[in-house]
């Protein structure tokens, strides 16, 4: 296995991700934890030093134990990691001045001699890389040579081939270094990794980690039926079985048959201990007469916590709360992954729960990106229809029903949404679209059906493509599709006589209507 020593870079997890893509198993450990004893016990086959925010010229700045250089295994130092290596081994690093600092895109060109680390590099004579450094190496450590230079970093790529120590000034793990993955591939190859690690192995490791963390204590998990919480629940169930209780809070704002489907899937396929908390009366009661979007959200958020707490209190000896937090949820606030200084940005849907209830967190997906969670879900046997589901917001249909929420409107909305999604599936578009749903508008309009006048609700259909939900483009359905869908909804759903298609992108619109 490969050890990543984390010096606090914001993109350390991306190194791990690049390695997982190469089917290489790695672990990230904060530098404070990596002592000589730790190194011996870990026995890495290769080591990577991450970047970091500190300056190596500062006294007391983060270092690895010197013993790391005597392990006889390949080491790759990145950015701060390069500077650490140079200074530790007898080179010189100079503190940043404005003319030597380099941030953003740069181009590295090769020196004369080619090395295995750079196989597949410089095919066009130069490589685009991402730089982000203030300090720079000014004198190489003995044994090192330069293999690539950039205008701001004469020592952009350096190596001591005898000891298999490599050190680069840029960040090969980020997308802005387009050929960066190749560099990691070459590194793990020369370190002797066969690349046969799989998501199946990750699953086993996660299970062991959960067992180590939880011991014989009980865990509760808020299951929403979304991919993240589902994968979290199943993983925990595999790890600790009966010690886990999942609570599925049904706030009465779910889609057609959704609650039944979710509960059935988990009970039948996984035999999970699952409490179906049907609290729709409570939620809908409190929401009666409320039409302000923020007030709605606040009511739902608060009730969710109250309800969850009520059920959790009935579970004896629960000391842990499991959450499906993903890496992008923590990326902004992590200073050292898994380290003592981590600030947790709680999942917005259960925000505030752990603090309020005095629970410790179990977050098995903290290191993963969405697509990796899907792969893990697949590995755990979650049906493909579950894994590929469009995102669904915590407040549910409440934010797709602008104005006052009534049971009548919710019923119309559920039926219309089901027809719309059925249409999308029938046309083979579901997986092409990031998120699609119907919303019911707070207005009635006049229509004519048969020989009679109608005065019914209007619907808005929404479909967007997006990468992360932060920005989005409306989906360009054909007119045929829209016409057919409108006809079907009006014919099949009583109470609707008009259908609009929302062709607003984000910005200026948001994806949800509220
Ligand atoms: P907006 O409407 O802000 O939505 O453009 C962006 C993405 O976030 C989802 N969304 C939520 N998800 N709790 C959630 O779990 C929420 O309160 C919430 N509000 C919006 C929305 O469905 C879209 O995918």
How does strand 102-110 pair with strand 127-133?
A: antiparallel
Q: Is 506 in the pocket of ligand 1 (CB under 6 A)?
A: yes
Alpha-carbon span 164 to 192, nearest angstrom? 12
Give me the residue spans of the domains in the chain.
2-190, 199-387, 406-501
Q: Would you call 404 helix, strand, or coil by DSSP?
A: coil
Nearest CA to ligand 1 atom 17: 394
* E strand or H helix that includes residue 293: helix 293-313
| CATH number 3.40.50.620 given to 199-387 | yes
Q: Is 394 in the pocket of ligand 1 (CB under 6 A)?
A: yes
- Band (362; pLDDT cuts 50, 70, 90): very high
At the topology level, CATH places domain 406-501 in GMP Synthetase; Chain A, domain 3 (3.30.300)
CATH class of 2-190: alpha beta
Radius of gyration of the chain (CA): 27
Query: What tens digit of pLDDT does each residue of 74-96 get?
Result: 999 999 999 999 999 999 999 87
Alpha-carbon span 377 to 372, nearest angstrom? 8
Topology alike, domains 2-190 and 199-387? yes
Residues with a known catalytic role? 79, 171, 173
Nearest CA to ligand 1 atom 20: 393
**Complex-level ipTM:** 0.98
Q: Residue 343 pLDDT more than 80?
A: no
Joined together, the tokens standing for residue 232 give 């979290």
Binding residues, by number, are 224-230
Residue with tokens 């899907």: 374
Query: What tens digit of pLDDT does each residue of 230-256 get?
Result: 999 999 999 999 999 999 999 999 999
Would you call 53 exposed, middle or buried from its count of C-beta atoms within 10 A (0-12, 13-18, 19+)?
middle
CA of 297, closest atom in ligand 1: 17
Query: What tens digit of pLDDT does each residue of 318-330 get?
Result: 999 999 988 777 6
């Amino acid at each position: 296995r490969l050890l990543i020593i984390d010096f606090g870079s914001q993109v350390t997890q991306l190194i791990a991700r690049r390695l997982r893509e190469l089917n290489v198993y790695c672990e990230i450990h904060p530098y404070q934890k990596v002592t000589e004893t730790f190194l011996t016990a870990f026995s890495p086959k290769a080591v990577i030093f991450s970047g970091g925010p500190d300056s190596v010229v500062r006294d007391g700045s983060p270092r690895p134990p010197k013993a790391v250089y005597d392990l006889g295994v390949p080491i790759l130092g990145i950015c701060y990691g390069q500077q650490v290596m140079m200074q530790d081994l007898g080179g010189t690093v100079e503190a940043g001045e404005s003319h030597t600092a380099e941030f953003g895109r740069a181009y590295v060109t090769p020196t004369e001699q080619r090395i295995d680390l750079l196989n597949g590099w410089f095919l066009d004579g130069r490589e685009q890389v991402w730089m982000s450094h203030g300090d720079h190496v000014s004198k190489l450590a003995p044994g090192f040579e330069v293999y690539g230079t950039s205008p701001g970093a004469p020592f952009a790529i350096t190596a001591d081939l005898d000891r298999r120590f490599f050190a680069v000034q840029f960040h090969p793990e980020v997308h802005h270094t387009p050929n960066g993955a190749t560099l990691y591939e070459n590194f793990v190859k020369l370190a002797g990794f066969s690349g046969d690690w799989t998501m199946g192995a990750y699953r086993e490791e996660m299970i062991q980690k959960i067992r180590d963390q939880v011991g014989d204590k009980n865990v509760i998990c808020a299951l929403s039926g979304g991919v993240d919480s589902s994968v979290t629940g199943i993983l925990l169930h595999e790890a600790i079985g009966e010690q886990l209780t999942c609570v599925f809070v049904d706030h009465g704002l779910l889609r057609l048959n959704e609650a039944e489907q979710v509960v059935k899937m988990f009970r039948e396929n996984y035999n999970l201990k699952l409490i179906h908390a049907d609290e729709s009366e409570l939620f809908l009661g409190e929401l009666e007469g409320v039409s302000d979007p923020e007030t709605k959200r606040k009511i739902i958020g608060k009730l969710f916590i109250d309800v969850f707490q009520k059920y959790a209190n009935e579970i004896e000896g629960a000391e842990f709360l499991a959450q499906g937090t993903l890496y992008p949820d923590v990326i902004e606030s992590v200073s050292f992954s898994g380290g003592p200084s981590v600030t947790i940005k709680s999942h917005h849907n259960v925000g505030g729960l752990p603090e309020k209830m005095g629970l410790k967190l179990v977050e098995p997906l903290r290191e993963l990106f969405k697509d990796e969670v899907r792969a893990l879900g697949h590995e755990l046997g979650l049906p493909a229809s579950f894994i590929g589901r469009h995102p669904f917001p915590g407040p549910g249909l409440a934010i797709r029903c602008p104005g006052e929420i009534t049971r009548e409107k919710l019923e119309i909305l559920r039926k219309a949404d089901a027809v719309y999604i059925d249409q999308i599936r029938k046309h083979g578009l579901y997986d092409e679209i990031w998120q699609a749903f119907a919303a019911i508008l707070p207005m009635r309009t006049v229509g004519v059906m048969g020989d009679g006048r109608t005065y019914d609700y209007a619907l808005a259909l929404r479909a967007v493509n997006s990468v992360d939900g932060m920005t989005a483009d409306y989906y360009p359905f054909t007119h045929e599709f829209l016409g057919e869908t409108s006809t079907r909804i009006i014919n099949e759903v009583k109470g609707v006589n008009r259908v609009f298609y929302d062709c607003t992108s984000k910005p200026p619109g948001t994806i949800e209507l509220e």
